[in-house]
């Protein structure tokens, strides 16, 4: 004796979805059902409306030795991979920057740290899609079709002459939606604010200045010059440690020699 039948439906936005539009992407659904299996009559449920929003993330590569990231400071040729919130999958992106789906890391690696530059570059290399995103001539890395969620931009190769970022950049895209109830409208919410929090710095959010574009831009600085690595620099560690041992050894030797001389006297 059932009084309700529950029908669950899952859909995905396609390439025609509007990115960042204030009114989002309204969807409606209703069900038609037979009132009489032996006849032609049918009934219809009331329409249900759902508004779905999607956004664009721009990574802006610039020379950190400049005071700003205007045109002359922009850097082309930096390579990135966009990782999901758990950093175990990479974004597969169509040429042009539209997100397709999340895919496993190359070779089913458990961590991005286990993936080489060559392995990244060889993923989907000739299929009109890629996981490697390269900054343009104006320093932009663009991915559209994202939800408001947590992501990580992993730099896998820096522009020539620059040092690579030491860790993935955490980007939390946050949207602010206002519920509305317009008579005769199929909208139930509109976008009122959009911003990104970078590396948990909630005091300095990167706000979207034009909601119609639905784009948040995250500045990513590279610095030129030679730096010693903070990780993987075991040779440097051994050098300093060995130097310390030698210095201590020299001190011990000097003390022993002084004692021997004093005893001989």
The verdict on 109 and 238 lying in the same domain is no
pTM: 0.75
Supply the pLDDT for residue 185: 55
pLDDT in tens, 193-222: 899 999 999 999 998 877 778 899 999 999
Domain residue limits at 69? 54-224
Instruction: Give the domain CATH number at 119.
Output: 2.60.40.10
Q: Is pLDDT at 131 greater than 90 in this prediction?
A: yes
- Whether the per-residue pLDDT at 259 is higher than 60: the answer is no
Q: How far is CA 68 from CA 20, 74, 160, 169, in A?
A: 27, 10, 20, 19
Q: Are 247 and 209 part of one and the same domain?
A: no
Look at the chain and report how many structural domains it folds into.
2
Top pLDDT among 51 and 215 is at 215
Give the pLDDT score at 77: 96
Name the more confident of 30 and 152.
152
Long-range contacts of 5-9 (CB under 8 A, 24+ apart): 7/31
**What is residue 190's predicted lDDT score, i.e. its pLDDT?**
80
């Amino acid at each position: 004796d059932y009084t309700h039948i529950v029908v669950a439906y899952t859909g995905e936005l396609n390439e025609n979805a509007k990115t960042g539009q204030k009114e989002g992407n309204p969807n409606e659904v209703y069900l038609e059902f037979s009132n009489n299996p032996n006849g032609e009559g049918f009934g219809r449920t009331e329409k249900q409306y759902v508004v779905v929003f999607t956004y664009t993330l721009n990574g802006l590569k610039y020379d950190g030795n400049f005071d700003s990231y205007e045109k002359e400071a922009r850097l082309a040729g930096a390579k990135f991979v966009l990782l999901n919130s758990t950093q175990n999958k990479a974004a597969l992106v169509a040429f042009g920057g539209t997100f397709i789906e999340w895919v496993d890391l190359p070779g089913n690696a458990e961590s991005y740290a286990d993936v080489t530059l060559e392995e990244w570059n060889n993923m989907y290399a000739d299929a009109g899609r890629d996981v490697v995103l390269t900054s343009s001539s104006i320093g932009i890395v663009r991915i559209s079709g994202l939800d408001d969620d947590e992501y990580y931009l992993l730099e896998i190769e820096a522009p020539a002459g620059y040092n690579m970022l030491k860790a993935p950049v955490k980007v939390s895209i946050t949207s602010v939606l206002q519920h509305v109830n317009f008579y005769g409208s199929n909208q139930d919410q509109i976008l009122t604010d959009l911003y990104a929090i970078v590396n948990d710095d909630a005091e300095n959010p990167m706000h979207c200045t034009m909601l119609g574009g639905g784009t948040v831009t995250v500045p990513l600085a590279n610095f030129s010059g030679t730096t010693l690595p903070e990780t993987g620099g075991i040779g440097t560690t051994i050098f300093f440690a060995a130097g310390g041992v030698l210095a201590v050894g020299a001190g011990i030797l000097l003390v022993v020699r002084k004692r021997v001389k004093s005893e001989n006297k």
